[in-house]
């Protein structure tokens, strides 16, 4: 979740490279930020609560100079997020450390170190790492040896970069589960949690493997395993369809709004080359033989990826006519779920680094299930963990609240459902051709929805003072309702609950009164659930609930002046979730903006979740 950057190169550039790189990683955490630069006069540490710009202000016009430095942007897992002492880097003796992860056994280690006379300045688990390294280092071990011994003592997911005044030309990086990438551009060497921090400086990167250590010096980068054996890892070119590019707002006030408007292009890019006239799909390098013996599909994901996966379940069942489930990845990991060779597990993670999803993928593989990975990150750890990879082609998503992640994932699942149906012979070619025609229409339909922006903004301002919302949908509208509620709560901090409309009378209806807005997500007019949703809407209005409806442009009874109707273009069952979610994204955005919230970096959240 935190972001790490390291640099070995030119003294006059170190501070700039570190701060610039942290700026590219700030969506991984923005509770605090800090750097440590090692120069001729020792180590200089600057750190502060808050975002990167506060750190830059603290450094001022006289940045420290040194050829080696490390930096960190923090999402707090332990200790006060607003405390300067809890910000990284953490220093003990000659050693300074930045860390992404959790030290699970920090408490007994700290007690032992304190009983030996060591003084702790923070409430974090990371400071234990700094003291352990310094203890071994001070006893005569090299920095690399000290880091290895420290990793042998700590438990939990951890990626670190460490420097020492005793070895002022060196960074040692180590990885256990949490990501680390390295780059060597000749005179300059780089370390980071993710590729975007490095893309402007180099053309290729190398991922540090599980349980490996890297020594970064002016003369080069050496990777070893825990036994000291040298590891040769190939570098990968940064050719990624825009994932690592230096994103710009392009005139939009926020990244989130820009990314909402990018969805017609992103969905078109995701589907391009994956649907073909005549109903014969090609889905990257996925082998039809993998699919033919499958009897069940299980999607696993977290947050927005889980809600998109619920849509994927509906699509696979309706198009491919095969049993499908959608599981929250963190729950799948600890259930005794049967998933053998007859099961296809689809692990879904925008970042490719989500800890719970990676664990679910590992569990599925161990149980003998077939696996497919869906991710937006061509450099993510999940790609190494999964043999069959489908990249969504959303391009880089900077805003913490995901938007084009949802739509590109759902579009990918539609293509996957086509592939499964054709591979298993359960989808007739003429029906496949009809579905493909519908999928090709989605980008134009989404563009029509974006034209409703001003209208939606007015509705959002009208409802922005409400403290609670209920979002309801049926069928493919259900995951859209869940996603709409999630977007609103993420960026406006308003309580919002999504539910299946058929469940309203089994509990949520008790919440409805004159102060409770209820947002309905309607399907196509021809769908049977349309009339049922109208009945649900009448039940809400009978209890004086305020109604907002995302509804196709068609005639519908029982509407009055108090209702706020957002008319979206009429479309088919498969296109509907990719169209109806856009008004809900815009609604959440405008509510949050009218309340003065930080839309792109909402409190307590991070773009990448690398701990359980």
Per-residue pLDDT tens digits for 395-413:
889 999 999 999 999 999 9
Give the domain ranges of the chain.
Answer: 3-237, 241-440, 450-605
DSSP-based three-state secondary structure for 123: coil
Which residues, in sequence order, are bridge partners of residue 37?
Answer: 44, 69
DSSP-based three-state secondary structure for 477: helix
Pairing mode of beta strands 343-349, 236-237: unpaired
Residue 244 confidence (pLDDT): 60
Exposure of 74 in the CB half-sphere (CA atoms within 13 A):
32
Token pair, residue 23, equals 């700026």
Whose CA is closest to 471, among 449, 445, 446, 497? 497
Judged by average pLDDT, the poorest of 56-70, 102-116, 122-136, 585-599 is 56-70
Which residues, in sequence order, are bridge partners of residue 96?
Answer: 91, 163
- The enclosing H or E element of 402 equals none
The CATH code of the domain at 450-605 is 3.40.50.10490
Give the strand order in the sheet containing 95-101: 90-92, 95-101, 158-164, 167-176, 213-217, 220-224
Token pair, residue 120, equals 């702790």
Read off the pLDDT band of 608 (50, 70, 90). Answer: confident
Active-site annotation holds for 607: yes
Instruction: Find how far residue 544's CA is from the centre of its chain.
Output: 38
Residue 246 confidence (pLDDT): 55
- Please state, in angstroms and rounded to a whole number, the distance separating the CA atoms of residues 489 and 480: 14
Per-residue pLDDT tens digits for 556-582:
666 777 889 999 999 998 999 999 999
Residue 78 confidence (pLDDT): 85
The verdict on domain 3-237 having CATH code 2.60.40.1120 is no
Cα–Cα distance list, 593 to 11, 107, 222, 226, 597 (Å): 41, 42, 48, 50, 6
Which residues, in sequence order, are bridge partners of residue 38?
Answer: 43, 68
Burial of 359 (0-12, 13-18, 19+ CB in 10 A): buried
Phi and psi angles of residue 45, each rounded to the nearest 5 degrees, phi first: -115, 130
Per-residue pLDDT tens digits for 294-325:
999 999 999 999 999 999 999 999 999 999 99
Whose CA is closest to 86, among 56, 49, 128, 129? 49
| Peptide bond between residue 214 and the one before it cis (omega within 30 degrees of 0) | no
Catalytic pick among 51, 67, 381, 607: 607
The answer to whether residue 279 scores a pLDDT higher than 80 is no
Burial of 380 (0-12, 13-18, 19+ CB in 10 A): buried
- Please state, in angstroms and rounded to a whole number, the distance separating the CA atoms of residues 416 and 420: 6
Answer yes or no: same fold for 3-237 and 450-605: no
DSSP-based three-state secondary structure for 375: strand
Cα–Cα distance list, 232 to 214, 217, 370 (Å): 11, 17, 29
Contact (Cβ atoms closer than 8 angstroms) between residue 309 and residue 270: no
Q: How many residues does the chain have?
A: 612
Model-wide pTM > 0.85: yes
**DSSP assignment string, 276-308:** -TTS----TT--HHHHHT--EEEEEE-THHHHH
Per-residue pLDDT tens digits for 2-47:
999 999 999 999 999 999 999 988 888 889 999 999 998 899 999 9
**DSSP assignment string, 11-40:** TTTHHHHHHHHHHHHGGG--SEEEEEEEET
Contact (Cβ atoms closer than 8 angstroms) between residue 37 and residue 64: yes
Per-residue pLDDT tens digits for 383-393:
876 679 999 99
Catalytic pick among 2, 15, 36, 202: 2
Contact (Cβ atoms closer than 8 angstroms) between residue 513 and residue 544: yes
Judged by average pLDDT, the poorest of 215-224, 275-284, 349-358 is 275-284
Which residues, in sequence order, are bridge partners of residue 346?
Answer: 299, 372
DSSP E strand boundaries for 226-336: 236-237, 296-301, 323-328
Whose CA is closest to 27, among 49, 51, 54? 51
Active-site annotation holds for 393: no
Token pair, residue 513, equals 């009164």
Per-residue pLDDT tens digits for 434-492:
898 999 999 999 999 999 999 999 999 999 999 999 999 999 999 999 999 999 999 99
The answer to whether residue 154 scores a pLDDT higher than 90 is yes
The verdict on domain 241-440 having CATH code 3.30.465.10 is no
> Residue 476 contacts by C-beta under 8 Å, 6 or more apart in sequence?
311, 314, 315, 523, 573, 574, 576, 577
CB count within 10 Å of CB 432 equals: 23
The share of the chain scoring above pLDDT 90, in percent, equals: 69
The answer to whether residue 240 scores a pLDDT higher than 60 is no
């Amino acid at each position: 979740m935190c972001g790490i950057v390291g640099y070995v190169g030119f003294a006059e550039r170190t501070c700039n490279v570190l701060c610039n790189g942290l700026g590219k990683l700030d969506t991984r955490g923005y509770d605090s930020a800090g750097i440590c630069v090692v120069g001729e006069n020792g180590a200089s540490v600057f750190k502060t609560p808050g975002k990167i710009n506060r750190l830059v202000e603290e450094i001022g016009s006289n940045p420290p100079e040194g050829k080696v430095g490390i930096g960190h942007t923090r999402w707090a897992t332990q200790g006060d997020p607003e405390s300067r002492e809890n910000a990284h880097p953490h220093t003990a003796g000659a050693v300074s450390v930045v860390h992404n992860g959790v030290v699970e056994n920090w408490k007994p280690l700290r007690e032992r170190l304190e009983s030996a006379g060591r003084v702790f300045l923070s409430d974090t688990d990371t400071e234990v790492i700094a003291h352990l390294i310094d203890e071994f280092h001070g006893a005569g071990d090299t920095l690399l040896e000290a880091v290895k011994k420290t990793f042998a003592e700590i438990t939990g997911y951890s990626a670190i970069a460490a420097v020492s005044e005793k070895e002022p030309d060196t960074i040692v990086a180590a990885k256990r589960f949490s990501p680390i990438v390295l780059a060597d551009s000749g005179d300059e060497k780089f370390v980071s949690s993710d590729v975007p921090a490095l893309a402007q400086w180099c053309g290729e990167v190398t991922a540090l493997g599980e349980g490996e250590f890297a020594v970064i010096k002016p003369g080069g980068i050496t990777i070893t395993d825990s036994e000291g054996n040298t590891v040769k890892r190939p570098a990968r070119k940064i050719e990624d369809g825009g994932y690592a590019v230096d994103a710009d707002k392009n005139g939009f006030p926020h990244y989130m709004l820009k990314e909402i408007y990018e969805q017609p292009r992103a969905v078109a890019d995701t589907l391009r080359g994956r649907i073909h006239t005549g109903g014969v799909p090609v889905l990257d390098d996925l082998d039809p033989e993998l699919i033919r013996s499958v009897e069940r599909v299980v999607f696993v994901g977290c947050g927005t990826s889980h809600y998109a996966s619920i849509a994927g379940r509906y699509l696979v069942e309706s198009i491919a006519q095969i049993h499908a489930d959608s599981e929250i990845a963190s729950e799948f990991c600890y259930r005794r779920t049967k998933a053998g060779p007859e099961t296809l597990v689809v692990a879904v993670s925008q970042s490719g680094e989500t800890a719970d999803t990676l664990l679910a993928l590992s569990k599925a593989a161990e149980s003998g299930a077939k696996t497919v990975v869906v991710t937006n990150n061509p450099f993510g750890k999940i790609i190494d963990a999964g043999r069959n990879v489908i990249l969504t082609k959303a391009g880089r998503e900077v805003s913490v609240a995901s938007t084009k992640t949802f739509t590109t994932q759902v579009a990918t699942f539609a293509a996957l459902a086509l592939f499964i149906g054709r591979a298993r012979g359960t989808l007739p070619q003429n029906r496949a051709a009809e579905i493909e025609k519908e999928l090709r229409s989605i980008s134009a339909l989404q563009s029509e929805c974006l034209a409703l922006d001003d209208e939606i903004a007015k509705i959002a301002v009208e409802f922005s003072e409400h403290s609670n919302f209920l979002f309801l949908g049926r069928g493919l509208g259900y995951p859209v309702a869940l996603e709409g509620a999630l977007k609103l709560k993420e960026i406006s901090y308003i309580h919002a609950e999504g539910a299946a409309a058929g469940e309203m009378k089994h509990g949520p209806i008790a919440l409805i009164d004159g102060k409770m807005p209820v947002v309905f997500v309607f399907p196509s007019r021809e769908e049977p659930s349309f009339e049922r949703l109208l009945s649900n809407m009448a039940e809400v209005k009978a209890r004086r609930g305020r109604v907002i409806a995302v509804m196709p442009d068609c005639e519908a009874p029982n509407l009055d002046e108090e209702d706020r109707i957002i008319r979206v273009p009429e479309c088919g069952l498969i296109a509907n979730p990719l169209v109806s979610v856009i008004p809900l994204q815009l609604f959440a955005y405008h509510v949050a903006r009218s309340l003065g919230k930080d839309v792109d970096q909402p409190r307590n959240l991070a773009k990448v979740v690398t701990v359980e």
